[in-house]
Amino acid sequence: MALDKGTVRKHIKYRYIIQLFFAAVTNSYVTGFAAGKIYQGNLKLLCHPGLNCYSCPGAVLSCPIGALQAVIGSRAFSFSAYVFGTILVFGALMGRAVCGFLCPFGLIQEGLYKIPFPKKINRFRGDRPLRRLKYVMLLLLVVILPMTINNAAGNATPYFCKLVCPAGTLEGGVPLVLLSRSGGTALSAGGFEGLSGLSESIVRPGVINVPTTGYQIGLLFWWKFSILAAVILLSIINYRPFCKYLCPLGALYGMLNPVALYRLRLDGDACIHCGKCSKACKMALDPVRETNHSECVRCGDCVKVCPTGALDMGFGDGKLTKLNETRHHNAATARAGGKERQ
């Protein structure tokens, strides 16, 4: 049953706190930030549900996209199945709610969007076609190239991490460069090159250590840094641009969004078609017509502004057909108020 007007589930109301807490817990390797070391313990055998770079000094879990690229063409079928299965389980349970609640890079973009700017732009001509680019990233850089181009050991180069991923640059590349310049410990690239590819995208193969001359930072690093800079600037104007246009993990979760157990639920009888939910949606969706669309990150903004409580989020069937007396009362009151204003 949909919620009463004015009632919002606590997990929606405190979404930012959940995001911050999860980001802190999964990046809690303090030694990494202090000494420029990358955690390589047993927890790294587990995948983070969101996009969190393996090479982040604080990361205690692996990035699912980096891991998937590394093993998708591997002869170690069991590990390939494990990585893909992990993504599939999170996708089936939560869909893109993972993006809205558990992804550290999504949290960073949301923080940037809160910076005041004269005009925020979330709807523009060409927006929908541009969102298909993340499926190209998924198919070409995460699946086809890693699956077809392997080294002698059967490991693939994670092309998305190496050539594009701004999350890896921000969370792994930049901190490691800064820590090495400030006297951090030099690290062997071999331990994590296969999962993140970040060592290749920052410095020459060998060690993650940039001397004060900086000669080891090459064109590839600056290419990735320019992508990161563009994402940062766009995030101030456009809500989660990386999630919308480039993220292959979001593409995977998006395909499971319509059938995920955690979902946006609409009570069609209570909806008065006021359009407030559509105006509130920063992903530029119409929650009434596009309920559980592949682009919905379950942020809950539409739930918060609904005057009749017709929208809700939770586990279970999204087709709400029964309406209690309170629902009838809320909808009738809202309609009556609209007629009086006319």
Q: In this structure, is residue 291 part of a structural domain?
A: yes
User: Which of these, 201, 193, 207, lies nearest to 219 by C-alpha position?
Assistant: 201
Which of the pair, 80 or 328, is modelled with greater confidence?
80
Residue-level pLDDT at 273? 95
Residue-level pLDDT at 206? 34
Which of the pair, 203 or 179, is modelled with greater confidence?
179
264: left (phi over 0), alpha (psi -120 to 50) or beta: beta
Kindly state whether residues 222 and 278 are assigned to the same domain: no
Kindly state whether residues 236 and 107 are assigned to the same domain: yes
Backbone angles phi, psi at 187, to 5 degrees: -125, 145
CATH number, domain of 301, equals 3.30.70
Which of the pair, 182 or 220, is modelled with greater confidence?
220
Residue-level pLDDT at 123? 95
Residues of the chain above pLDDT 90, percent = 63
Q: 230 falls in which pLDDT band (50, 70, 90)?
A: very high
Residues 179-191 pLDDT 10s: 876 554 444 333 3
Q: Is the pLDDT of residue 331 over 80?
A: no
How far apart (Å, rounded) are the C-alpha atoms in residues 303 and 313? Answer: 8
Q: In this structure, is residue 81 part of a structural domain?
A: yes
Kindly state whether residues 160 and 196 are assigned to the same domain: yes
Residue-level pLDDT at 337? 56
Kindly state whether residues 185 and 271 are assigned to the same domain: no
Q: In this structure, is residue 5 part of a structural domain?
A: no
Residue-level pLDDT at 320? 47
Q: Which of 218, 253, 288 marks a domain boundary?
A: 253
Q: Is the pLDDT of residue 39 over 70?
A: yes
**Average pLDDT of the residues in 142-150:** 88
Burial class from Cβ neighbours inside 10 Å (0-12, 13-18, 19+) for residue 232 reads middle
Q: In this structure, is residue 1 part of a structural domain?
A: no
Domain count, the chain: 2
HEC readout, 87-102: HHHHHHHHCCHHHHHC
Please report, in angstroms and rounded to a whole number, the separation of the first and last CA atoms in the chain: 31
Q: Which of 200, 219, 253 marks a domain boundary?
A: 253
Residue-level pLDDT at 339? 53
Kindly state whether residues 283 and 189 are assigned to the same domain: no
Kindly state whether residues 98 and 233 are assigned to the same domain: yes
Q: Is the pLDDT of residue 60 over 90?
A: yes
**Average pLDDT of the residues in 19-47:** 92
Residue-level pLDDT at 327? 47
User: Any bridge partners for residue 156, and if so which?
Assistant: 150
**Average pLDDT of the residues in 146-158:** 75
Q: In this structure, is residue 4 part of a structural domain?
A: no
Q: Which domain holds residue 199?
A: 10-253
Kindly state whether residues 222 and 327 are assigned to the same domain: no
Q: In this structure, is residue 95 part of a structural domain?
A: yes
Cα 172 to Cα 43, 59, 240, 264: the distances in Å are 18, 9, 20, 34
DSSP 8-state symbol, 79: H
Q: In this structure, is residue 3 part of a structural domain?
A: no
Cα 320 to Cα 49, 294, 327: the distances in Å are 29, 20, 12
Residue-level pLDDT at 216? 52
How far apart (Å, rounded) are the C-alpha atoms in residues 303 and 312? Answer: 6
**Average pLDDT of the residues in 19-27:** 97
Q: Which of 219, 253, 287 marks a domain boundary?
A: 253
Kindly state whether residues 209 and 96 are assigned to the same domain: yes
Q: Is the pLDDT of residue 50 over 60?
A: yes
Q: DSSP string spanning 285-337?
A: --TTTSTT-TT-----HHHHH-SS--EEEEES-SEE----HHHHHHHHHHHHH
Residue-level pLDDT at 193? 36
SS3 60: coil
Residue-level pLDDT at 88? 96
Is the CA virtual torsion 246, 251, 257, 263 positive or negative? negative
Kindly state whether residues 209 and 226 are assigned to the same domain: yes
Kindly state whether residues 23 and 160 are assigned to the same domain: yes
Burial class from Cβ neighbours inside 10 Å (0-12, 13-18, 19+) for residue 143 reads middle
Q: Is the pLDDT of residue 83 over 80?
A: yes
Across the chain, mean pLDDT equals 83
Kindly state whether residues 15 and 62 are assigned to the same domain: yes
Structural contact between residues 47 and 67, judged by C-beta atoms closer than 8 angstroms: yes
Q: How far is CA 94 from the centre of its chain?
A: 12
Residue-level pLDDT at 93? 97
